[in-house]
Amino acid sequence: MKFFSSQLSFFLASRRTQTNIKKLLKFVVGLILVYSFYSIMFHFVARYEGMEFSWLTGFYWTLVTMSTLGFGDIVFVTDIGKAFSMIVILSGVLFLLVMLPFTFIEFFYAPWIHAMNQAKAPKQLEQAEGHVIITELNTVTEALIKKLNAYKIGYAILEPDLQKAIDLSDHDYNVVNLDPTDYDTYSKICIQKARMIVAAGPDTVNTNVTFTVKEFNPSVKVVATAAYSDSVDILQLAGADNVIQLGEILGRSLARRTLGGNARVHVIGHIDELVIGEATAQETPLIGKTLIESRLREITGVSVVGIWERGKFLQPLPDTVITERTVLVLAGSVEQLRNYDELVSIYHVSDSPVIIIGAGRVGRAAAKSLQERHIDYRIVDKNPTRILDENKYVLGDAADHEVLKKAGLEEAHTVLITTHDDDINIYLTIYCRKLSPNMQIISRTNYDKNVNTMHRAGADFVMSYASMGANSIFNILEGQDVLILAEGLNIFNHKVNHKLANKSLIESNIRHETGCTVVAIKCKDDGMVVSPEPTRKLQLNQEIILIGSSEGENSFTTKYENGIKHNG
């Protein structure tokens, strides 16, 4: 009903529609006058032939004849009667079968369809506040929209093409039929009350959007994505508050997952003073021990907050046994992680290179990150224009066993699959897992729907281009830190609200209700408390740091954060 009223308002508000309705009414009035004239003339002709009929019969005969139905129950036999019938039939064909349909379509149906489309894809936002403006829908912004919906944050997509805007509306997206590069657009989308503009198109378009927005209102926060490093400075000069190089971020994230050739902790990120790292247990004295027997916390101070077993994340329990394939997820301070390194760094030493399949932006960013960590690598690519260094690059198809052997597959401990095609990545994951069952395989995916398929294909870790970009943008929006351990598994922080205040961790039942685990608490008095005791009470406005899946984070948000205003 609400949608119908919006359609009607769009329909009646147009001056052209009002003019069209007047024209349509004039035509209908003219048609009624012709119909009435023929109904009256019917009686004169009937009397001429010696027949008498009621006025209703006259209207009936005229309608039947003009509509060309011609039941034949009333027939004139004289020439005058036949001529009159022919005139009525021809008039009916002209008015009812030709002019009326075209007039109806031109003056009513077409404007109504246009109004319906305008209602689906309006030309402006009304009474919007705290919303996010998105300039293009792609895999990244699609994932961002899911996150915005989970946090009940409004958004609007700017789409200049009406048909595309209608299609997006049909798929339940909030869309406005406006051009993001048009200066006048920003007077129609409540930009003064918007929390952020996300310029997510090509670099040149993003530059245009950023410059236009800042010219309209310099105080609006603009986050722009950049495909090329050369575009970063230009976007910043145009006024972008934050520029995100998604390829660079993803490449470095993939490289961080590479455990390298030793058992040292490899830092994958940090939230304030809390550092998160991963370390393989392979060829260390930890193998065969339970976590409680390893006494890692007592000896080094680090806390084991998770365990990877062949790409599957497990909650650490005191009786969890450490195996050859175990990868420990560790949390602690920089000093505590160094203590762990001193304990195990002499084990599992290997100089074998990491194989990177794909020399695109993501692959090159991963190589740069590995080089900074002094880890050897080889990049495989079949495009000769991407071969930059013959000592580090291997020209050829990664599906060719000989090419992979040349790159060092038989000795390599890790392969990074970074191409932009998910089907190719799945194919290569299966291929590499078949050739080297014990190798660590880290793969990229563009679409979230392919994450599970990638894991089934044999990938140990999967990083999503879409989720990585969406989380990066959302972090800027919320002013919070979210660290992606792997696709679908995050470390994130939340402020304690009235729903959690004055409850102990065990009383809050967070793990049971949401599947998330509190790994640290930021306190004013005690600083960062890593792996807090279950009996520790939460205080209002404290910050808790949790680890959990994307679904777990959504469950936590739904249960504990609904109704809370998020400050950007």
* Domains 262-344 and 488-561 belong to one CATH topology: yes
pLDDT above 90 coverage of the chain, percent: 34
The residue ranges of every structural domain in the chain are: 2-120, 132-244, 262-344, 354-465, 488-561
Q: How confident is the model over 54-106, as pLDDT tens digits?
A: 999 999 999 899 888 888 888 898 999 999 999 999 988 888 888 878 777 77
Instruction: Give whole-number Cα distances, 402 to 101, 396, 407, 415, 416, in Å.
Output: 70, 9, 9, 16, 18
> Buried b / exposed e across 388-422, counting CB within 10 Å, b at 16+?
eeeebbbbeebeeeebbeebbbeebbbbbbbbeeb
Q: Is the pLDDT of residue 278 over 80?
A: yes
Q: How confident is the model over 343-373, as pLDDT tens digits?
A: 887 776 667 889 999 999 999 999 998 898 8
Hey, which CATH number is domain 262-344, 3.10.450.50, 3.40.50.2000, 3.30.70.1450, 3.40.50.300?
3.30.70.1450
If one compares 117 and 428, the residue with the highest pLDDT of the two is 428
Q: How confident is the model over 279-299, as pLDDT tens digits?
A: 888 778 888 999 999 998 888
Hey, which CATH number is domain 354-465, 3.40.190.10, 3.90.79.10, 3.30.1440.10, 3.40.50.720?
3.40.50.720
Q: Is the pLDDT of residue 11 over 60?
A: no
CATH topology of domain 132-244: Rossmann fold (3.40.50)
Q: How confident is the model over 514-567, as pLDDT tens digits?
A: 888 888 888 877 777 877 878 888 988 888 888 887 778 888 888 886 543 333
Total count of residues recorded for the chain: 568
Q: How confident is the model over 314-333, as pLDDT tens digits?
A: 778 889 999 877 888 888 88
Measuring CA to CA, which residue among 40, 26, 88, 97 is closest to residue 63? 88
Phi, psi (degrees; rounded to nearest 5) at 360? -80, -165
CATH 1.10.10.10 matches 2-120? no
Check: CB of residue 316 under 8 Å from CB of residue 306.
yes
Check: CB of residue 354 under 8 Å from CB of residue 411.
no
Q: Where are the beta strands (DSSP E) in 382-439?
A: 393-395, 414-417
> Buried b / exposed e across 255-276, counting CB within 10 Å, b at 16+?
bbbbbbbbbbbbebbbbeebbb
Kindly report the CATH number that applies to the domain delimited by 488-561.
3.30.70.1450
Q: How confident is the model over 496-515, as pLDDT tens digits?
A: 888 888 889 888 888 888 88
